[in-house]
Chains A and B, each alone.
Chain A
Amino acid sequence: MFQEHTTAHSGVSQRMPLRIPLALLGVVLALLVLASLFIGAVSLSPRLVLDGLFSGQASSLEGTLVWQHRLPRALLAILVGLQLATAGLILQAVFRNPLADPSIVGISSGAGLAVITVLLLADLATVDVLIGDATPTMMSWLPAAALFGGLLAASLVLGLSWRTQLRPIHLVLNGIAVGSVLNALVMWVIVTWGGARTEIALIWLAGSLYGRDFQHLYMLWPWSLAGLLGTLALLKPLALLRFDDSVVISLGLRPMFWRAAAIAVAVLLAASAVAVTGPVGFVGLVTPHLARLLVGSKPHRLWIGSMLLGSMLMLCADLIGRTLISPLEIPVGALTTLLGIPIFLLLLHRQARGRF
């Protein structure tokens, strides 16, 4: 992950100022936010959108549309994207594994199972939480439950791969195997629970931003903040963890402590995102690799670049998903999987040939 500090083949030359690629990414991100405000299933003229944006939510139809649907959705896409990208970056660094991703090491499936189970235990009717009608107290528990499930699943996958010293391929295979068992458990819960709400739950499981509003944003932001602050504290130790344990110790760090802390932060970021959108795969896998190509591999650059790219990816996928066949919607998670798998296979191919 962080291993190519000085080498030139890591994409952009390290002497290039950080500002240029990051400014470019920032501009594209801003354009995407604007696009997701102006484009949608209901077509509004730019003028109406602007009117709605400045007239506040209650006053008009376009105000409601922009303020209650498009804006919170764009903001959520940004948050979720940067969280998943950061989680992927951390996991890849901790495991020295270019194939790690929250959805691959089992975090997403564990969190998904926990969320579905909480919904089931709480009250069948509150499945409306997924489309925004539930009580706030109920919803504020969801990220915590997701965190619990994600931690449990991650420790299961880690425990299973421990014997082979977390070899990349064993870790990923175990993650996918555990993930498929957890997904079967989720299907079990849904089928037992059954009824008319099955489809809502299934759409949530595909990973979607459909019907998300400010309520979800309020629910998510404290977790994002905690996770990002944690990442900030982790950046330096993470860059050192690529060395052998003895070296790390001689540098004055406790390797196991920092590894555990890093995994905890990654689970926190990924699981709380899953609690809001459902599992969205491969964003965390792809973004660090793309970011390294664009901004080089110095820890801070890489992190900021990954976050920007993650947000862009989510916004882009959401925009495509809700406009391509509108009024119907393709879930974001399905799109990121369709786009992410070819890239995953490419990485796998390179790893199989020992090019990492």
Chain B
Amino acid sequence: MNNLNGERSWVEVAMYDELPVNSGKTVRFKDKELAIFRLTSGKILVIENRCPHKDGVLAEGIVSGEYVFCPLHDRKIDLSSGLVQNPDTGCVKTFDVSIENGKVYIDLLEKSEIAS
């Protein structure tokens, strides 16, 4: 839990209004590549941009509700938990998002790191 103390690293990535609705976009930060999604509900969710199966780029998948379907072999991934859905298995890292003054920030600390 120590990670919570001031080590969060919020990075500004985009204007909320400029993100396309219901499709993903690639975000690069140093050696990380993330996929950011603005859902129909208005929610923004961010995951690592690589499918656990064979590295498919998830930003390019079809988005339905809070799931993205990997464009390579159609694994279905829950955008909020990062869990690959049945019958396949695996998970991707997820990241926290905050929106202030119309700007979208991503916390580059993986949620899973915080949890453990």
Q: Is this pair of chains taken from one and the same complex?
A: no
User: Chain A residues in contact with chain B, CB under 8 A?
Assistant: none
Residues in chain B within 8 A of chain A (CB atoms): none
